[in-house]
Amino acid sequence: MKTILFVDDDSNILSGFKRSLRKKRDQWSMLFAEDGDQALEVFSNQHIDVLVTDMQMPGMSGDQLLERVIDIAPATARIVMTGYADLAKLARASELAHRFLSKPCPTEQLVAAIEELLFSQHIVHNDRVRELMGKIGKLPSLPTVYYEVSNAIDSDDASADQIASIIKQDGAMSAKVLQLANSPLFFGSHRVSNISEAITRFGLAQLRQLVLQCSLFQCFEPVDGAPDFIESSFWKYSLAVAELAKKISQLEGQRGDLLDEAYIAGLMHDIGYLVLVSYNPQLFGELCDLNVRTNENPAVFEQQMFEVSHDEAGAYLLDMWKIPTPVVEAVYHHHQPHKSGCSAVNATTAVHVAAAIICEYEEAKWPFTTCLDMPYLEALGVVDKIDVWRELAEPIMEKYPQWLQ
């Protein structure tokens, strides 16, 4: 049975939780605390799977409680509930919480959020890695993006599309913008994977606060002992895969959200490597050496060395951030798309093919191999398109040396 802890200084709110969630008592053990100190006492006595806390509380505030929980129980999934739509405060909470809900919150929405987080915890079975990822609220971003977005916001003719084109270059910022854009606190239950739409929802004034408060445009600080390519090639390679995945989707006649899903999934498909290298940079270096020598599916050695693969780690993190499901699935299955169960070309297909093609280029300087899943592509009836898709990569890689200089 899973244990859920609810924290709110309003006893009426807690009583409302008890009444509305009565039907879940056979599945969840539900505990209640009226302040941060009581909550921490509960944590000292037992494991908590999901924490649901108010932000505005006397004494210990919600964000202060979240900071403490990250230290003592980082594997706990964290939900913030608040009636204040203050982006600056929410941006701070976005570094600490996995989901955001408004108050009052419909019972079905609260239940769905809790169940989604509980499901996410099943993706990665290694408690130590779950704990590591629980500490990750933001990922390294490119300094180039920081200056470009700042200048665009300061210009007189800035538009959502212009800023979106800059943000799309950076996986960490794209993830955080989508995470906040998909928060029911601001925008309801409809999920978006379109960066321009997300920016339009915020507005440029609020986006400025997002940029300042989230600190997602700090210079990339490589982990001591991490391989050089993490700093020099990671985002360039990811951007190339994203560009090609989008072109493949376009050629297949896909439009709108489907193109955005392919692009975002391509940009984030290897984001799990940032988790692994943060977890143990020296072991990650050994993993790279093994892959260079053997040219095997990297997941084989990752499971042996880390007890988790980069696709599992990346999918877990993005799912916890409530990135749209097609993106999460593409990240999770990009090495083994046949396990996705999909019978048509989609984001998973596009990212799988794009990663396999781009990693073949020597200038990509990418040590991990993605092998085309030929039985899967044959089942989709697209094997005869592979050469055409390879041609789409040529102009992308011609620009590659100049990217992100």
Query: Which H helix or E strand runs over 46?
Result: none
User: CA-to-CA distance for 144 and 166, rounded, in angstroms?
Assistant: 9
Residue 195 in contact with residue 174, Cβ under 8 Å? yes
Name the amino acid, one letter, at 363: E
Using the predicted structure, report yes or no on whether residue 366 has a pLDDT greater than 90: no
Residue 105 in contact with residue 230, Cβ under 8 Å? no
pLDDT of amino acid 33:
97
Length of the chain: 405
User: Domain extents for the chain?
Assistant: 2-123, 143-214, 228-402
Mean pLDDT of 44-54: 95
Name the amino acid, one letter, at 357: I
Nearest CA to 91 out of 155, 13, 191, 186 is that of: 186
Q: pLDDT class for 85, splitting at 50, 70, 90?
A: low
Tens-place pLDDT, residues 12-45: 999 999 999 999 999 999 999 999 999 999 999 9
Name the amino acid, one letter, at 144: T
Name the amino acid, one letter, at 268: M
Give the C-alpha distances (Å, rounded to integers) separating 83 from 56, 64, 184, 322. 9, 18, 11, 20
pLDDT of amino acid 376:
95
Tens-place pLDDT, residues 181-236: 776 655 555 678 888 888 887 777 666 656 644 433 343 355 677 777 776 788 78
The CATH number that domain 228-402 falls under is 1.10.3210.10
pLDDT of amino acid 82:
83
Output 292 or 346, whichever has higher pLDDT. 346
Residue 137 in contact with residue 94, Cβ under 8 Å? yes
pLDDT of amino acid 142:
47
Residue in this structure with the two tokens 């094997």, named with its chain if needed: 383
Rounded to two decimals, the pTM is 0.72
Name the amino acid, one letter, at 293: R
Q: Which residues, including other chains, have CB under 8 Å from residue 57's CB and lie 6 or more apart? A: 7, 8, 9, 35, 36, 65
Quick one: CATH architecture of 2-123?
3-Layer(aba) Sandwich (3.40)
User: CA-to-CA distance for 250 and 61, rounded, in angstroms?
Assistant: 47
